[in-house]
């Protein structure tokens, strides 16, 4: 085999949070499935998110738990339920810089793919003369929106229209000042990379936003998703992420007993902790609407004796007894991809985190949107106003993080009304459902041979090979001119 055709050697460095790690590792699987040598850099406890079905190598680093005051084994943002400990996770991940740099310097790859929360990878990649691709788990639509919003005063509050945008999009509240101060420097550094990897497909982001992005940034973006479609079998879908707290077989059997499009799936991600009074409003809306439901509530880690008391605070008295046949409450991790792909699920009440959003799109399930923080308010507009595959619940409180105390409640009447708009079978709901099914089919086609994401992956692989081969040729010429080594540079890339 000619050295130019040798497989690429790629290192992936995901941020240690489920919403970042799971999709990036599935994208790593796309590369590995094409025969390239992929290594994911992580820590011991995070290997539980990576199943044997992945055909890439793991390089594990010791997580600095003691240095930041965390218990051993707490190595992921999903494992903590308090803002203070979330900061500790972030601090600890930043301490991984030195061992990651040492590993890359000792055995450089052809390309490094790192989460944008690791901006220091930019200097390391330049030092090693390798391309750096960036992943942040956002849609290109939302990246475009954040770039446009940078032109607005950081002190602005209240409703605003996104300036210089392909669609007229008005948001009811402004992103928090501290959120912009955190995200905008990271985005600026990401735009110095060799390109974004996007967990989406071009048909959902839209050619108008791809063109807008190129025009306004001059930067490359490679749509390679939906990442969740790297999981093909029922077992692979069930194992995506952490171990489910419910029996997968029990969950599927329950769904099998329900009619098509009769169940509302409710989940706000793995790290969104609503206050008890908001959970109570959701419970009241669920009961009033009367649809079948699966409701995922992240477990609040605490003393065992407090859990029963906590449950009583956020559930109306007798709720579970009255709705035992109609619904399931899952306290902890759920097999979300498997649930969304079941024909009984007719709608997804979601926080609009991009991982959840694109999973719902890939399953052809319409959404009831309830954004909370980060870029979720932008995602909502792509879903509801631009693509017409969901309805808004009416949330307008833009928080800095998933750990928050609501100043405003979304009341039960608004929640129930939004559920009915998708589930009642009226003309609006039928139109939304039809569009959602069409996007689901397009998503599946995108990752298959000849599809948009499949072709983008091919183009990206070819691009990275050209960069590698140019570097090899450059090194060959340097070595020939200096005559400093008789060892062939090609020996660095054995078969």
Residue 382 CA to residue 399 CA, distance in Å, equals: 19
3-state helix, strand, coil in the chain (%, to 5): 50, 15, 40
Pairwise CA distance, residues 81 & 245, whole Å: 17
Residues facing 345 on adjacent strands: 263
Phi, psi of 351 (to 5 degrees): -80, 0
Q: Is the dihedral of CA 84, 86, 88, 91 positive or negative?
A: negative
By C-alpha distance, which of 224, 225, 204, 208 is closest to 216? 208
Instruction: Give residue 296's Cα distance to chain centre.
Output: 17
Give the residue from 185, 220, 332 showing the smallest Cα distance to 267: 332
H-helix or E-strand spanning residue 332: none
User: Is the torsion defined by CA of 348, 352, 355, 360 positive or negative?
Assistant: positive
Cα-Cα-Cα-Cα dihedral sign, residues 486, 488, 492, 495: negative
Does residue 342 contact residue 255 with C-beta atoms inside 8 Å? yes
Q: What single string gives the DSSP state of each residue in 137-174?
A: S--HHHHHHHHHHTTS-TT--S-EEPSS-SS--EESSP
Preceding omega of 286 cis (within 30 degrees of 0): no
Q: Which of 115, 194, 351, 373 is catalytic?
A: 115
DSSP 375-440: THHHHHHIIIIIS--EEE------BSSSB---SS---HHHHHHHHHHHHS--HHHHHHHHHHHHHH
Widest pairwise Cα distance in the chain:
82
Nearest-angstrom CA–CA distance, 292 and 280: 18
Does the active-site annotation cover 427? no
Distance of CA 387 to the CA centre of its chain: 19
Q: What distances in angstroms separate CA 353 from CA 182, 391, 459, one per listed residue?
A: 18, 15, 28
State the burial class of residue 444 (Cβ atoms within 10 Å of its Cβ: 0-12, 13-18, 19+).
middle
Q: Give the list of residues 6+ apart from residue 491 with CB closer than 8 angstroms, or none.
A: none
DSSP secondary structure letters along 229-245: GG--SHHHHHTSSSPPS
Would residue 20 show up in a list of annotated catalytic residues for this protein?
yes
Q: Please give the positions annotated as active site.
A: 20, 115
């Amino acid at each position: 085999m000619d050295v130019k055709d040798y497989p690429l050697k790629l290192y992936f460095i995901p941020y240690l949070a489920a919403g970042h790690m799971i999709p990036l590792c599935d994208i790593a699987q796309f590369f590995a499935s094409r025969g390239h040598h992929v290594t994911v850099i992580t820590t011991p406890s995070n290997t539980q998110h990576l199943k044997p079905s992945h055909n890439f190598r793991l390089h594990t680093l010791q997580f600095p738990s003691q240095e930041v005051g965390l218990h051993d084994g707490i190595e992921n943002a999903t494992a903590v339920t308090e803002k203070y400990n979330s900061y500790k996770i972030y601090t600890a991940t930043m301490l991984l810089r030195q061992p990651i740099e040492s590993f890359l310097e000792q055995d450089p790859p052809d390309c490094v793919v790192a989460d944008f929360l690791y901006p220091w990878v930019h200097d390391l990649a330049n030092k090693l003369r390798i391309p750096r691709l960036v992943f942040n788990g956002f849609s290109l639509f939302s990246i475009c929106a954040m770039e446009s919003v940078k032109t607005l005063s950081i002190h602005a509050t209240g409703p605003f229209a996104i300036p210089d945008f392909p669609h007229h999009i008005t948001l009811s509240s402004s992103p928090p000042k501290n959120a912009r101060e955190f995200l905008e420097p990271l985005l600026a550094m990401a735009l110095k990379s060799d390109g974004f990897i996007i967990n989406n497909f071009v048909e959902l982001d839209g050619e108008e936003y791809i063109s807008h992005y190129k025009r306004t940034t001059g930067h490359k973006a490679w749509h390679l998703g939906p990442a969740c479609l790297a999981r093909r079998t029922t077992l692979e879908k069930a194992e995506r992420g952490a171990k489910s707290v419910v029996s997968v077989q029990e969950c599927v059997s329950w769904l099998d007993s329900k009619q098509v499009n009769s169940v509302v799936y409710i989940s706000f991600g793995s790290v969104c902790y609503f206050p008890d009074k908001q959970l109570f409003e959701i419970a009241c809306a669920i009961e009033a609407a009367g649809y079948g439901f699966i409701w995922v509530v992240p477990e609040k880690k605490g003393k065992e004796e407090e859990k029963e008391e906590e449950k009583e605070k956020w559930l109306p008295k007798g709720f579970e007894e009255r709705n035992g046949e109609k619904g399931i409450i899952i306290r902890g991790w759920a097999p979300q991809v498997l649930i969304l792909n079941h024909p009984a699920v007719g709608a997804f009440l979601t926080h609009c985190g991009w991982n959840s959003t694109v999973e719902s799109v890939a399953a052809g399930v319409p959404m009831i949107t309830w954004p909370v923080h980060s870029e979720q308010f932008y995602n909502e507009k792509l879903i509801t106003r631009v693509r017409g595959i969901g309805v808004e619940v009416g949330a307008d409180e833009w928080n800095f993080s998933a750990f928050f105390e609501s100043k405003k409640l979304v009341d039960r009447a608004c929640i129930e009304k939004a559920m009915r708009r998708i589930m009642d079978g009226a003309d609006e709901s039928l139109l939304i459902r039809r569009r959602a099914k069409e996007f689901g089919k397009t998503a599946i086609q995108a990752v298959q041979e000849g599809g948009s994401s499949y072709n983008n992956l091919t183009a990206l692989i070819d691009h990275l090979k050209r960069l590698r081969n140019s570097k090899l040729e450059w090194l060959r010429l340097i070595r020939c001119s200096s005559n400093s080594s008789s060892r062939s540079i090609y020996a660095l890339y054995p078969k």
